[in-house]
Amino acid sequence: MVRYPGPDPVAHAVLARHPEVVAGSGRVQAWVIGPGVGVDDEERLAEARETLARAIADGLPAVVDAGALDVLPERVGAQIVLTPHAGELARLLSARGDQVERGEVEARPAHHLRRAVDLTGATVLLKGSVTLVAGPGTPVHSQDGSTDWLATAGAGDVLAGVLGAALAGRSDDVVAQPALATPLAAAAALLHGWAARRAGRGGRGGPVVAGDVAGAVGGSLGALLATLRD
């Protein structure tokens, strides 16, 4: 079940498109915080900060994306998964005293990913042409199953949703063993890449938009599970 506790005008739009979503607050197993929140939107940033604090206090896993990365506490647990792109990672590191430019992150992604893990205590998924994931005490996992077509508006939000679903499905396990967030994040990145390729094939091999990728997630998961069974 997906729960949306955001502003009413957005909730109305969400329900018009996806009436199965439950609007409003209530019990959850994992949070996805930040998609659609701009770094200058003080009201939404305050909501993101409050929600993240609630997730941490409850010990629940959470995906922290986009604008919510700017309201991250100094230290969190490994059950908190950050999903920055190179520019956002550079901003996060600079806010913690490591003055880094986006180009430096792109030139040495694994180094700066590991630095972000060390500074925050979180699990970090660095989005890019090759997706990298690491958590405290875990090696860096690389996932090159993505496609350049994923460099489209909203594709990162789809990944955040896939990862949030993965964390929710294993919430009790992640709470008991926070390091499990790292392989779950790597698996979400793999599925996201598969969905992008499947969406591209459905469009006769052309570029895709984020909605195409989201629509291909279910079929891609089924195909991936069938491959594993074989």
Which amino acid appears at position 64 of this protein? V
- Domain boundaries defined on the chain: 3-229
Place of tokens 């405290």: 136
Given this model, what pLDDT does residue 147 score? 56
pLDDT (mean) for 170-195: 95
The helix (run of H) or strand (run of E) holding residue 81 is strand 80-82
pLDDT by residue (tens digit) across 78-103? 999 999 999 999 999 999 999 999 99
| pLDDT at 223 (0 to 100) | 86
Answer whether 67's CB lies under 8 Å from 34's CB: yes
pLDDT higher than 60, residue 42 = yes
Is 70 exceeded by the pLDDT of residue 202? no
pLDDT at 206: 64
Residue 88 structure tokens: 């956002």
| Assigned fold of 3-229 | UDP-N-acetylmuramoyl-L-alanine:D-glutamate ligase (3.40.1190)
Per-residue pLDDT band for 220 (boundaries 50, 70, 90) equals confident
Please determine, for residue 204, whether its predicted confidence score (pLDDT) is greater than 80.
no
pLDDT band at 72 (very low <50, low <70, confident <90, very high): very high
| Number of other CB atoms surrounding residue 206 within 10 Å | 11
Q: Is the pLDDT of residue 186 over 80?
A: yes
- pLDDT confidence of residue 207: 73
Say which residues have a Cβ less than 8 Å from residue 131's Cβ, sequence separation at least 6: 125, 142, 143, 144, 146, 189, 193
Percentage of residues of the chain with pLDDT beyond 70: 93
Select from 208, 184, 210 the least CA-distant residue to 197. 208
Q: Which amino acid is at 118?
A: D
What is the spatial distance between Cα 154 and Cα 150, in angstroms, rounded to a whole number? 9
Average pLDDT, the chain: 91
Q: 89 or 217: whose pLDDT is higher?
A: 89
148-177: pLDDT as tens digits: 656 677 888 999 999 999 999 999 999 999
Find where tokens 């991250």 sit. 72
